[in-house]
Amino acid sequence: MRRIALLAIASIVLLLTACATTTETHSTWQTKTGESHPTFRHMYVLVLADDPAVAATAEQQVRKSLNHRAVEATLASETLGERESEREAYRAQVEAAVKASGADGVMVVSLLKVEERSEYVPPQVDYVPVPSAPMYLGYGPYVGHSYGAIYQPGYYHNAKDYYLQTQVYSVERKRPVWQAQSRSMNPDSLKNGAKGYAKSIVSQLDKDGALKR
């Protein structure tokens, strides 16, 4: 029974690991020498993407991560409406939305590049329960189980890494004050990729002291 429980726990851990997306983030303050670092209690989140669904999903995950740290978030996907085609008109549209939200910081996220690479998946051995007694006896499944091994050879597959840039603007100072580059490694879905990015970027903001307590 203990062995079955341990195998069940191991399977759950492997499943959660497979669903997680690894994201690494490197950040820097863009403030002047000797200038204090601002802290934010309310972020206006704007993800620049050609696909509105991609932008909305990423913004929603960032809001969840910010809310976990008691920081309010307003999303561009929920407040901007139809995007203006001209650059200056779009900028005015965003500025008006930020002002209406009452946010003290603006987070702007953009995709820098997508990089393809070949990734090696090492061999795996999976253990499956096998009845200890012959099935024809009728009570085999209830006697107990032994475990048979199924070997899966290693293989190569194509992986995609997404490089993102994040800038945080201070509404009060009217300029960018914090910047980060993130690498999201081979996300298996849009939601998991967005979740991994959001956790990484908000954790880095918190680590850098940019979130108001």
Residue 88 within any structural domain of the chain: no
Confidence (pLDDT) at 134: 54
Residue 37 placed within a domain? yes
Quick one: pLDDT at residue 61? 97
Query: 30-81: per-residue pLDDT in tens?
Result: 998 999 999 999 999 999 999 999 999 999 999 999 999 999 999 999 999 8
Whether 143 is covered by a domain: the verdict is no
The count of domains in the chain is 1
Residue 84 in domain: no
**Do the domain assignments include residue 113?**
yes
pLDDT at 125: 76
Within-domain flag for 3:
no
Rounded CA-CA distance 195/19 in Å is: 10
Distance of alpha carbon 176 from alpha carbon 49, whole angstroms: 20
Give the model's pLDDT for residue 1: 46
Q: How far is CA 46 from CA 16, 54, 59, 62, 96, in A?
A: 29, 12, 7, 10, 13
Does some domain include residue 128?
Answer: no
Residues of the chain below pLDDT 50? 1-19, 138-140, 142-143
Q: Which domain holds residue 191?
A: 22-75+103-120+155-207
Smallest CA-to-CA distance from 110 within 169, 187, 48 is with 48
Rounded CA-CA distance 191/76 in Å is: 18
Within a domain: 201? yes
Tell me how far apart the alpha carbons of residues 96 and 91 are, in angstroms, rounded to a whole number.
Answer: 9
In CATH, what number is assigned to the domain containing residue 55?
A: 3.30.160.670
